[in-house]
Structure 1
Amino acid sequence: MTGTGRLIRLVLRRDRVLLPLWAVVLALVPALYVSSFESLFPTAADRLEYARVSAGNAGFVALYGPLHGAGLGELVAWRGGFLPVMIGLFSLLTVIRHTRADEEAGRTELIGAGVVGRHAGLAAALIVTWGANVLLALILSTAMVAQGLPVTGSVLMAAGFALVGCVFAGVGAVAAQVTSGARSARSIAAVALGVAYVLRLSGDVSAIGGGAVSWLSWLSPIGWVQHMFPYGADRWWPGVLAVALTALLARAAVALAARRDVGAGLVAPRPGPARAAAGLRGPVSLAWRLHRGLLAGWIAGFAALGLVFGGVVRSVADLSAENPQLARMFERMGGASGVTDSFLAGVSGVMGVVAAAYAVQATLRLRDEESSGHAEAVLATAQGRLRWVGSHLLFSLAGPALALTIGGAVCGVATGLAMHDVGGEFPAVLGGMTAQLPAVWVLAALTVLLFGAVPKAAPAAWGAVAACVLLLLVGATLDLSQWVMDVSPFTHIPHLPGGEPSATPFVVLTLIAAVLAAAGLAGFRRRDVPAT
């Protein structure tokens, strides 16, 4: 473990912007829910009625988890039920970035030539990520106590959130030992996170029905921490399971790292054929081979989100009919012709931001290909630079369009069935989803600009996505100035369904995306490959 301290300082220096961003922002989001619930449900009777309807709604339980209690703290903890998934995602990505990604880039071998222990890099990545989750827990618990909520419940909720992050940091560490590629390691860890979420979802939804498979939620670390029930039962013992699993995963990662060579994975990559098939002899077919798995995963995720959001619509309408404050909240989310349209307009915005995350990830594949040396090998052939870039941008631009279309179609059908009007709801919901595309393309084009002009800063495109998410989540709650809200391209999209459509924002945003992409392509044509 020699040199772990210095590597910790190196990790902190490299992540001095990104690490505090997710740790602090995700910690403050639940605190904003407190004032929101206080204004929407000012009396205990209001909160009791809201909890009664929400606890038995399969859509709400699928999104946020089980609800047992109607206190302010219990509602806030339940409303933040999806945040552990985001914390787990950021944690596993952080660990893989400083382990497998560094090995793939050759940095680990270079550092290992000095006086550094074999497992120092892994230890540094885990310690920093665990520390970020502890920081998140401290900020969250302090913020909740400062708003008058009980100390025990605040500490318990914050600890649960942090424990999920620590568990999936361990998952990322194990995944980093399995394959020789960072992208494969991310996929394995993300699938594990998705499976944990689905197990939690299946078990909790079953519990509000017959309960035949309610035990499934106890197979998921997300389910463990959500069954701690802060501000209510205040169970500590499920957290012990998360601590034990974290220690087990960390120990397994160290043991697996000792069984492989530096730069290699436990699963050796399969040797390919000596000659490529006819379908792989062009840049587009090669890009399809590289992007198809990612595209399929995102499409499946959009379909699932569409099904969940569409299934919640009827409950939103029923709740809003009984609570005028809740109706006003959905009206602030967007839409002008009823609570249902307002909710669906807000859902469309959420799906748009998620699609932008996919677009940025697909575009950053260009940088991955360049850093790994694959781009240089392709460009050494007769393929031109713009044709190579264009083959990847095809998926950056068309991929989100396909994902939003499928997600919108599923959501439209689910909404139509819930409202008994498939013919009326389907085109409206589908139109609201696909209307987000120009804003998605702006963020994709910004990523192209960074890749072409400042390639080392290309990952900063995730900061733009994070800013859009933050404005979407808390912009209306904090009543931010309009010029601040206008920073996000999604602010300029008409709120559909229910709003007044206008061609101007679509044209302007598409032109902005075209200009940014053209500037990025021009920069790429004039710089060295790989960038130095």
Structure 2
Amino acid sequence: MSTLTGTRHVARLILRRDRVLLPLWVLLLAVLPATYAASFFELFPTEAERAAYAAGTARNPSIVALLGPAYGDSIGALTAQRSGFLLVIIALASLLTVIRHTRTEEEAGRRELLGATVLGRHAGLTAALLVTYAADLLLGLVTVAGLVASGLPAAGSCAYGLATVLTGIVFATIGGLAAQLTETAGGARGIGIAVLGAAFGLRLVGDTATHDWPSWLSPLGWAARVRAYEGDRWWVLALPLAATVLLAAVAYPVSVRRDLGAGLLPPRLGPATAGRALSGAFGLAWRLHRGQILWWSVGFGLLGLILGGAAQAAGRSMEGNAQLEEIMARIGGASGLADAYLGATLSLAGLAAAGYGVQAALRMRSEETDGRAEPLLVTGTHRSTWLLSHVVFALLGPVVVLAVTGLAIGLTYGLSVHDVPRELPRMVGAGLAQVPAAWVLAGLAVLLYGLLPRLASVAWAILAVCVLLGQLGAVLKLSQWLLDVSPFTHTPQVLRPQWSATPFWVLAAVALVAAAAGLAAFRRRDVPVT
């Protein structure tokens, strides 16, 4: 029997299980670069306007730190830079997809069941990598098609698309290696995300320093150095290819030499007995959710520091461009241009925080399907108590994340305008104003889990619709009734001189009603539902 026997069947199983989530992140991330290109064509039709934008914003140190460098002021170069942070998201999605179908499956015991059949030792890892590689390739093809259709040169579009594909492939392989190093999925995710954070840090330091050599050490830095649309340096693509081969050459031998269920690194043993904090459902939920809240807060705090420092330059870059002023005002809902930029930035942060709320709410579904909920519910723990213990963190997480984001933005923006006492509370309030809309999506996730648990992942599709409406609605000037589908359209615009708190209470009420309906449905249905 070959070590790859059964790879095709495992790949089909992965595609079956990810039939909703995989197309969702692939198509969503693939269409965004084309929308950026279309907006640049509309907003900056002349070379002089593009040069002014590049001078004022694209080469601002804070924006370069977040998105990467712009190697020119053509539409293609500006689009490639504007899409810079998408590489981080693609890398993260690829990384987590591989870990989900390798280490998570092994930890849950499903890998051992498959291994009892006619299945080669390399089949599981190979199937996970091939499916993720194929997803990244599809993402790249759709991206290239969209960029070419928007009017950008085919050669530059192919260079950018290939750089995107190979970035995802490198981090998918990093995920495959991380899955071999530790015996828990959480540990593997921690290793993979730490590597991604280090890569982002090296890219940030290299792009903002005098010498850019640290960026050449980062897989995230290689994509920018292809210089799509500005020279198309194809030879740089050899770096992610070589890195992929080297990482795979380490991951595969380790995968067959370790014991099933074990990792290369020895596990860190916990205490022999649980502390008092784990004596109830809420203590257990806190133990399960605390790491996510911490790392989301740290990440968005750092992001807020960068975005707040870029606000002044972004506001100046919009001066004199009536179309851009109108669109930013519609997105950000603020009177000043810097406030419009900050409003749009915090709106995106609100969408991301909604992602945390959905993820935390769907943790209940994974606890149920992995068999950990049923043993808990046969004790004295009431169903309502168990569900509410997770719902509390699904609602609390967005509050913490958005408060930290607003605090970081307010601090750096306040320092740049020499008015921290005024800007700090304004930005914290503007961040918290996004909370009710994020709660609505978390509430809908709870409703889906309680009522239709098999369709709980549809909550991610709802979030994707909100992202598309938020990103494309103002640029494409979609009808207001369509924009109103997203709860983020109704977010109180607290950066305006006059605003109403009514949307806040309405959105919060909708979220609580949805969560309460989910609780009622959960109390009546069977557990588990598989």
Alignment TM-score, normalising by the size of structure 2: 0.94
Matched, 1:132 2:130: no
1:234 equivalent among 232, 235, 242 = 232
RMSD between aligned residues: 1.9
Q: Please give the alpha-carbon distance, in whole angstroms, between the structure 1 residues aligned to 2:194 and 2:187.
A: 11
For the 8 Å contact 2:436–2:507, the answer to whether it is kept is: yes
Q: Which residue matches 1:181?
A: 184
Amino acid across the alignment from 1:365: R
Question: 1:320 maps to what in 2?
Answer: 318
Could you say which residue in structure 1 is the equivalent of 2:523? Answer: 525
**Aligned-residue offset at 1:271:** 4.0
**Matched residue, 2:49:** 46
1:294 maps to which of 281, 292, 295: 292
Name the structure 2 match of 1:259.
257
Distance 1:275 1:26, change over 3 A: closer
Q: Which moved more, 1:377-386 or 1:156-165?
A: 377-386
Q: Any idea what the Cα deviations from partners look like across 1:94-120, whole Å, max 9, x if unmatched?
A: 212222222233332222222221211
Q: Residue 422 of structure 2: which of 416, 421, 424 is its match?
A: 424
1:114 aligns with 2:112: no
Counterparts of 1:107 and 1:326 in 2: how far apart (Å)? 52
Choose from 492, 513, 516 the match for 1:515: 513
Letter in 1 for 2:134: G
Deviations 1:399-454 (A, max 9, x none): 22122112111211211121222233222222111011111111111121222222
Q: How high is the sequence identity, in percent, across the aligned residues?
A: 51
- Write the letter of the residue equivalent to 1:31: A
Q: Number of residues paired by the alignment?
A: 527
Compute the displacement of 1:299 (Å).
0.9
Contact persistence 2:20–2:458 (CA under 8 A): no
Return 5+ residue gaps in structure 1 as ranges. none
CA offsets 1:187-212 (integer angstroms, 9 cap, x no match): 322222222112111211113xxx4x
The one-letter amino acid paired with 1:224 is W
How far 1:495 sits from its partner (Å)? 2.6
- Of residues 56-65 and 424-433 in structure 1, the stretch that sits farther from structure 2 once superposed is 424-433
What are the within-5 Å matches in structure 2 for residues 79-118 of structure 1?
79-118=82-121
| Matched letter for residue 410 of structure 1 | A
SS in 2 for 1:364: helix
Distance 1:270 1:458 in 2: 33
- Could you say if the C-alpha distance between residues 328 and 524 of structure 1 is closer, same or farther in structure 2, counting changes exceeding 3 Å? same
Q: Which of 56, 63, 66 lines up with 1:63 in the alignment?
A: 66
Q: Which moved more, 1:319-328 or 1:22-31?
A: 319-328
Residue 32 of structure 1 is matched in structure 2 by: 35
- Following superposition, the deviation at residue 150 of structure 1 comes to 2.0
Checking the alignment, whether the CA contact within 8 Å between 1:105 and 1:371 is kept in structure 2 is no
Determine if contact 1:334/1:499 at 8 Å carries over to the other structure. no
Q: Does 1:388 align with 2:391?
A: no
Query: Does the alignment pair 1:165 with 2:168?
Result: yes
The 8 Å contact of residues 342 and 498 in structure 1, kept in 2 or not, is answered as: no
Q: Judge conservation of contact 1:179–1:266 (CA < 8 Å) in 2.
A: yes
Q: Deviations over 1:450-484 (max 9, x none)?
A: 22222233233222222222222222222222232
Letter in 2 for 1:197: F
CA contact (8 A) 2:21 2:460 kept: no
Alignment of 1:3 onto 2:1? no
The match for 1:497 is 495
| Cα distance in 2 for residues equivalent to 1:12 and 1:292 | 31
Aligned residues of 2:354 and 2:439 also touching (Cα < 8 A) = yes
Deviates more, 1:475-484 or 1:305-314: 475-484
1:223-372 equivalence runs, <5 A? 223-372=221-370
**Aligned equivalents of 1:113 and 1:269: distance in 2?**
25
How far apart, in 1, do the equivalents of 2:449 and 2:193 lie? 25
Which residue does the alignment assign to 1:16?
19
Q: Which stretch shows the higher mean deviation, 479-488 or 191-200? A: 479-488
| Contact kept? 1:341, 1:496, Cα under 8 Å | no
- Other structure's SS at 2:8 match: helix
1:33-63 Cα distance to aligned partner (Å, 9 max, x none):
2221122111111112222233531111012
Which of residues 195, 202, 220 is equivalent to 1:199? 202
CA contact (8 A) 1:446 1:516 kept: yes
Match of 2:158 among 155, 161, 183: 155
Aligned-pair CA distance for 1:322? 4.7
Retained in 1: the 8 A contact 2:334–2:343? Answer: no
AA in 2 matched with 1:45? A
Q: What is the one-letter code of the residue matched to 1:66?
A: P
Q: Which runs of 5+ in 2 are unaligned?
A: none
Distance across 2 between alignment mates of 1:183 and 1:479: 42
Residues 329 and 399 of structure 1: is their aligned pair in 2 closer, same or farther, counting only changes over 3 Å?
A: same
* 8 Å Cα contact 1:41/1:325 also seen in 2: no
The alpha-carbon deviation at position 268 of structure 1 amounts to 4.5
> What amino acid is the match of 2:16?
R
**Stretch of structure 1 that moved more, 449-458 or 354-363:** 449-458
Q: Which residue pairs with 1:74 in the alignment? A: 77
Tell me the TM-score normalized by structure 1: 0.94
- Counterpart code for 1:482: Q
Q: Which residue does 1:222 correspond to in 2?
A: 220
Tell which deviates more after alignment, 417-426 or 226-235. 417-426
SS of 2:257 mapped into structure 1: coil
Which residue number in structure 1 is paired with residue 193 of structure 2? 190
Q: 2:469 aligns with which of 454, 471, 495?
A: 471
- Deviating beyond 6 angstroms after TM superposition, the runs of 4 or more aligned structure 1 residues are none
CA contact (8 A) 1:23 1:132 kept: yes
**How much has 1:352 moved relative to structure 2?**
0.7
User: What SS does structure 2 have at the residue aligned with 1:407?
Assistant: helix
Q: Aligned in 2, Cα 1:187/1:470: closer, same or farther, shift over 3 Å?
A: farther
1:72 counterpart letter in structure 2: I
Q: Evaluate the alpha carbon distance shift between residue 157 and residue 38 of structure 1 in structure 2; reply closer, same or farther with a 3 A threshold.
A: same
Which amino acid in 1 is paired with 2:253? A
Name the aligned partner's letter for residue 54 of structure 1.
T
Q: Report if the CA contact (8 A) 2:62-2:309 is conserved.
A: yes
1:404 to 402, 405, 422: 402
- Larger mean Cα displacement after TM superposition, 219-228 or 368-377: 368-377
CA deviations over 1:367-406 (Å, ceiling 9, x no partner): 2322333323333332222222222222221222122112
- Give me the whole-angstrom Cα distance separating, in 2, the residues matched to 1:227 and 1:499: 43
